[in-house]
Structure 1
């Protein structure tokens, strides 16, 4: 058996969970028909119930709401502005020294 890791897109995960939640279907049946383990469907279901529409952002990205994403963006801009301010303070101190 190969050790290659398979990657599933968010739509596939949502559809797998929705299929498993249909009446008359079991997680094991859905997992077998999709060629995946039932533990994946259980985990994806937990993620969907916990995070709702922002579940499965992909590639290690944190699942953030629009407001949280905006806050992170503003925090980064603030850090950049503080760094620029500190550089300008140092430059002012260097240039304002009286020549010896």
Structure 2
């Protein structure tokens, strides 16, 4: 059986980074908080490289306006297809009654 991957929120990651920047070693912080030292080092590296928008989480990268528009249109298309399927089923159900 696979282990479920643990996810850490932005506040937790920032707290970990602040502990390291305050002088604690990544190894000490990882032992104290029972997380992998690799995570601590990666989060510190990300924080130093990109302070604004760091740890946006779950694949939310900094998207261009065009990418945002494409994603919105894809979502709208998916919703329209779902709505269309529901309406087709409803027509089938209601036409059988008569």
Partners in 2 of 1:30 and 1:57 — Cα distance?
22
Runs of 4+ in 1 over 2 A off after TM superposition: 68-74
Structure 2: which 5+ residue stretches go unaligned? 74-98
Other-structure match for 1:20: 20
The number of residue pairs the alignment matches comes to: 71
Partners in 2 of 1:21 and 1:36 — Cα distance?
17
Other-structure match for 2:31: 32
Structure having the higher Rg: 1
Structure 1: which 5+ residue stretches go unaligned? 80-100
For each residue in 1:19-74, what CA deviation from the matched residue of structure 2 results, as whole angstroms up to 9, or x when unmatched? 01213x21111110111011101100111111112111111111x2xxx6556556
TM-score (norm. length: structure 2): 0.60
Cα RMSD over matched residues?
2.3
TM-score (norm. length: structure 1): 0.59
Other-structure match for 1:47: 46
